[in-house]
Structure 1
């Protein structure tokens, strides 16, 4: 049985400060693989949002990629292993709420990322700043959906969305809310991989509030030094920040590489 290492992407492996991944981080991932471990990505990003990553990270042979916050799992060849769609009834509630309040929203599926309505310039720029790419405009007409992101002017509207949309789980980013099917979370993707890949032990690394359950459910839950205070509170250990090669330093210090 192999040991599994699961890594969040943004703020863990990848820094938005330079839109890059350090050579030490890639070195660490390669050594983990060479030692016979299984290495996984666990991110809220969609497949399309991986396209503009540095080639060293984009082409790394992860054993699996947990995407869409846990709604989709791909093998190393890019084939779907697991997928959970948002119910059509929930999508109708999302669409109605967004139309009523004039909210900009993005939906994603196996084929890409799409603006459901024409975005404002600020929404487009905010998205591009994060991912160096942007969705195409394709109005929602009952397509398959794995993940929704609603942009909000007023953070208090998140509670309205949680009350108005049934059978879903939510990640609150204050000025945006991510919506997935109610059973979807990164930890469920990790547990699916643990069983499918016959993993004996789990290490999970993250930095955001959406990593809380993943770190709590791991044998070893590691929070980056740049991580959210709530994640630091539940982590087994807080390591150095992404800009200090936190992943590499932790693995080297603990003789895991």
Structure 2
């Protein structure tokens, strides 16, 4: 039987310093080279996930933007994709009318862009945007027309919980929404993606593409629940939230102890790591 192994990234495969360790990189590269069917699923983009997994060079598919795209780790080739329809542009206008500062992710003239109105964004959004200043997707603009240009696939808002919650409630059934605090900064985020896009749906499609019979997943947060629910086995790292541990097949070592890599090595090789 063919098994697909999928790990969450932040808080699971990444250590708390937001990087994969040399040990994890070595183990994943080695196991994939030997035939392990592996992927990681993340809210990050292809660009930023590559930066934090530098050294993990094996050829395997990546689930990025919470399932909006599946791309090849080595080549960057787009394997699966989801976009909003044109109606999302009206949502962006509504958010702006309510003094919110959306970051709009879109393909503009065929190029992936991270677009925000540099004159209108709030301080926390600007602080986050500036972390992408050297990123090829970085696109500060000054007009509404530019903000909603292209094929939109992701919206991010960072603001007070009280301002964001009404829009989470309004759109959570129409789109796939994430409403949570960032694990690194504690800021409240609302992320909106196409309805059909999710880690679980992307994993299902990937499982079919690879003709796999079984699915084993790893995670740490509530946003991993959907992929835990479709898995044959689901393992929470020790640092995971209680809600995830309650539905997990088991609990493994924490992210800072390379729990996923150690578990994979021991399962596939049948050998313990001292």
1:24-43 Cα deviation digits (max 9, x unpaired): 21232123214322111211
CA distance in 2, matches of 1:247, 1:131: 32
Partner SS state of residue 171, structure 1: strand
Partner SS state of residue 193, structure 1: helix
CA distance in 2, matches of 1:115, 1:135: 7
- Tell me whether 1:229 sits opposite 2:242 in the alignment: yes
- Tell me whether 1:137 sits opposite 2:140 in the alignment: yes
**Consecutive unaligned residues in structure 2, runs of 5 or more:** 182-187
Q: Where does residue 98 of structure 2 map in the other structure?
A: 101
Q: Where does residue 87 of structure 2 map in the other structure?
A: 89
**Consecutive unaligned residues in structure 1, runs of 5 or more:** none
Preserved contact between residue 106 and residue 135 of structure 1 (Cα < 8 Å): no
Q: Where does residue 184 of structure 2 map in the other structure?
A: none
Deviation at 1:173, TM superposition (A): 1.3
Greater CA deviation, 105-114 or 211-220? 105-114
Alignment of structure 1 residues 208-219 onto 2, 5 Å? 208-219=221-232
Alignment of structure 1 residues 38-187 onto 2, 5 Å? 38-57=37-56, 60-76=57-73, 77-93=75-91, 95-110=92-107, 111-118=111-118, 119-126=121-128, 135-138=138-141, 139-155=146-162, 157-164=164-171, 167-174=174-181, 175-187=188-200
1:186-219 Cα deviation digits (max 9, x unpaired): 0111110111111122111111221111111111
Preserved contact between residue 52 and residue 132 of structure 1 (Cα < 8 Å): no
TM-score normalised by the chain length of structure 1: 0.86
When residues 252 and 161 of structure 1 are mapped into structure 2, their CA distance, relative to the original with a 3 A threshold, is: closer
Based on CA coordinates, which of the two structures has the bigger radius of gyration? 2
Partner SS state of residue 145, structure 1: strand
Partner SS state of residue 150, structure 2: coil
